[in-house]
Chains A and B, each alone.
Chain A
Amino acid sequence: MTTRTPNFTGWRAVILSEEDGNTDRLRRQFGLLGISASLQWTPLAVADLPDLVLIDADRGWDELLPISDIAPACPVVALLGSEAPGRIAFALRHGAGAIIPKPVAASAVYPALVLAASVHAERVEARRRIAHLEERLKLRPIVFAAVARLAGERHVDEERAYAILRDCAMRRRMPIEQLAAFFLGGSETLREVG
């Protein structure tokens, strides 16, 4: 298997922290990686999200990073010196996919970025799949209704009715839910079967 070398060239990062030795070291490593970084200790504007957010989880407050773990819009890395469960929970709540311990060691930065970016990509993909499946789940009653009507009209059992719908959907290259909706709406007569 080939692992691609992670490349952050051209990324924009915002470090939500006060300036100190740790942020100096972060900026240095970011420079090496081709990432442009800015520093602020005021809430991040949701309208202007960067490619990557780092947040001081020792001292951060909720409004500092107004995105949540349910749908973080970009990879998040927590800077953490404390071991207090509350601060770790803060990091998780704000979607941190990796932690860089304080004081920041140069060798901790790149691995954390790779981890956070990968966790973020996985979450985005998982969210997309869940949304897709939920949508199909919501449309299930329409499929049931179509099966029942088709079984009644064509005098076949429900299993056969379902097979007809599925085959037609496949032939027309559309989801079965969509085909069922067309059939119930009268714009699809399923002429070629039965």
Chain B
Amino acid sequence: MKIGILYSTSGPYGAMGRDAHAGAEFAFHDYRARGGSLIEPVFFDPRADLSAYLEGARSLIRDHGCRHIVGTITSSARKEVIPLVEKHDGLLWYMCPYEGFEANENVIYIGGCPNQHLIPLFDYLLPRHGVRPYLVGANYVWGWEMNRLARELIHNAGGTVLGERYLPLEETAVERIVADIAEKRPSFVLNNLVGPSSYAFLAAMRKLGERDPAFLPENCPVASCDLQECELGDIGEGAALGQLCAASYFDTLDTPDNRAFKARLAGWSGGERIVSSLFASAYTAVSLCIAAIEAAGSDAPERVRGEVLARAWPSLFGDMRVDAATNHAALPFLLGRINDRHGFDVIASAPALAADPYLTGAPTKRAPRLRVVS
């Protein structure tokens, strides 16, 4: 039996793809270390070419007989692959935080949707920093939809969005946006930029903070929902220090499971390695897929899905339940602050939250007016 692994290890989000790829490899290492031999990985690298995702998925399914594909980072790549997976009644295991508004029977969602990341992030930020944010984002559906929802949350809180700007995926000319932020003086910045744009933006915000302390992270933080430990090395030294990110896993998580995981990983990679939430999520998706195939005694997708939905699975995120209605995992919320060791210190957390991909639970309700308290 084979599991297809579909990640781009180059291109604007290559650092994320390489980490996800490595997480999948390590899951197979763990599987073989405990004597597993029936299930094998097949890796395909679309090299950040959107049309190659479809070719890759087709090759994994048709040429290699994979009935499960773990992969894709961006929503556009996921949307490319889904129709083919549906047609062959396979399962796609998607493990990145995304903008929600999807719940496909042929997809298992291990990454969070906005009620698991953006909404709790705002619940934290608004009372502490105020309701006048500035929104920046990558110029595609992730940036657009996250900022749309942010706008709605701010409107409901009686606040004002001071600016909303977008950059193409690989654009690093952030000066005009940062100048606009310097002029408008928002209470915080929501950063939905991806990859190099995000790194350039964080570096420019650091410089702005050095000129004017009102823009230091403790006064006007830049908060993201997708920044990874594996990216911190690509950002200028110390440039992102003190900034915030929401996730369901951080390397620094102090649990027995995470300590044991990190020790095993150090043995495999020949030294200590910082684990990003993407590495942990890809590892979790592959491990869960393997465990469910073993439990089902078959890789038939409907039986594997049945096993996944039937119980809570031990994972790096704690006991993980996948909801039978939405196919989404319940996930804990962690808020990390970037430290000087290429990692995040957890400064706030909430226990596992069930996913609400279509926001039906009225989390966008009008909240009482909040005031700046700092």
Whole-angstrom distance between the alpha carbons of A9 and B364 in the complex? Answer: 13
B165 at the A/B interface (Cβ < 8 Å)?
A: no
A59 at the A/B interface (Cβ < 8 Å)?
A: no
Size of the chain B interface, CB-CB below 8 angstroms: 23
Chain A, interface size: which category?
10 to 19
B104 touches A32 (CB 8 A): no
Q: Which of B79, B82, B152 contacts A2 (CB 8 A)?
A: B152
Known: A2-B151, A2-B155. A107 touches B358 (CB 8 A): no
B360 touches A33 (CB 8 A): yes
A33 touches B358 (CB 8 A): yes
Q: Which of A4, A25, A105, A110 contacts B358 (CB 8 A)?
A: A110
B29 at the A/B interface (Cβ < 8 Å)?
A: no
A32 touches B325 (CB 8 A): yes
Q: Which of A2, A3, A7 contacts B360 (CB 8 A)?
A: A7
Q: Which of B79, B105, B149, B360 contacts A34 (CB 8 A)?
A: B360
Whole-angstrom distance between the alpha carbons of A33 and B151 in the complex? Answer: 22
B148 touches A3 (CB 8 A): yes
B38 at the A/B interface (Cβ < 8 Å)?
A: no
A29 touches B360 (CB 8 A): no
Contacts of B155 in A (CB 8 A): 2
Interface residues of B in 72-103 (CB under 8 A from A): 79, 82-83, 86, 101-103
Interface residues of A in 1-57 (CB under 8 A from B): 2-5, 7-9, 25, 28-29, 31-34
Most buried by A among B102, B358, B359: B358
Tell me the dominant secondary structure on chain B's binding face: loop
B86 touches A105 (CB 8 A): yes
Q: Which residue of B lies closest to A4 (CB)?
A: B152
Whole-angstrom distance between the alpha carbons of A32 and B102 in the complex? Answer: 10
A105 touches B359 (CB 8 A): no
Contacts of B359 in A (CB 8 A): 5, 7
A126 at the A/B interface (Cβ < 8 Å)?
A: no
Whole-angstrom distance between the alpha carbons of A32 and B325 in the complex? Answer: 6
A106 touches B104 (CB 8 A): yes
B364 touches A106 (CB 8 A): no
Whole-angstrom distance between the alpha carbons of A7 and B365 in the complex? Answer: 11
Interface residues of A in 92-107 (CB under 8 A from B): 105-107
Contacts of A8 in B (CB 8 A): 360
B148 touches A32 (CB 8 A): no
Q: How far is the CB of B263 from chain A (nearest CB, A)?
A: 40
Q: Which residue of B lies closest to A31 (CB)?
A: B325
Interface residues of B in 275-289 (CB under 8 A from A): none
A106 touches B360 (CB 8 A): no
Whole-angstrom distance between the alpha carbons of A107 and B83 in the complex? Answer: 10
Q: How far is the CB of B248 from chain A (nearest CB, A)?
A: 21
Q: How far is the CB of A191 from chain B (nearest CB, A)?
A: 48
Q: Which of B103, B148, B325 contacts A106 (CB 8 A)?
A: B103
Whole-angstrom distance between the alpha carbons of A81 and B155 in the complex? Answer: 41
Whole-angstrom distance between the alpha carbons of A105 and B82 in the complex? Answer: 10
Q: Chain B, 138-164, contact with A by CB distance < 8 Å: what is the 0/1 string?
A: 000000000011011001000000000
Q: Which residue of A lies closest to B365 (CB)?
A: A7
Contacts of A33 in B (CB 8 A): 358, 360
Q: Which residue of B lies closest to A32 (CB)?
A: B103
Whole-angstrom distance between the alpha carbons of A108 and B222 in the complex? Answer: 35
B326 at the A/B interface (Cβ < 8 Å)?
A: yes
Q: How far is the CB of B194 from chain A (nearest CB, A)?
A: 22
B362 at the A/B interface (Cβ < 8 Å)?
A: yes
Interface residues of A in 140-174 (CB under 8 A from B): none
B364 touches A4 (CB 8 A): yes
Whole-angstrom distance between the alpha carbons of A186 and B105 in the complex? Answer: 72
Q: Which residue of A lies closest to B114 (CB)?
A: A5
B325 touches A5 (CB 8 A): no
Known: A31-B325, A105-B83. A110 touches B360 (CB 8 A): no
A107 touches B82 (CB 8 A): yes
Whole-angstrom distance between the alpha carbons of A32 and B358 in the complex? Answer: 7
Contacts of B104 in A (CB 8 A): 106-107
Name 6 A/B residue pairs within 8 A (Cβ), A-sorted. A7-B360, A7-B362, A9-B361, A32-B357, A106-B86, A106-B104
Assuming A5-B152, A9-B362, A28-B325, what are 4 further A-B pairs, CB within 8 angstroms? Answer: A2-B151, A2-B155, A31-B325, A107-B79
Q: Which residues of A contact B (CB under 8 A)?
A: 2-5, 7-9, 25, 28-29, 31-34, 105-107, 110
Q: Which 9 A-B residue pairings sit nearest by Cβ, starting from the closest?
A: A34-B360, A2-B155, A9-B360, A106-B104, A2-B151, A32-B103, A5-B359, A5-B364, A33-B358
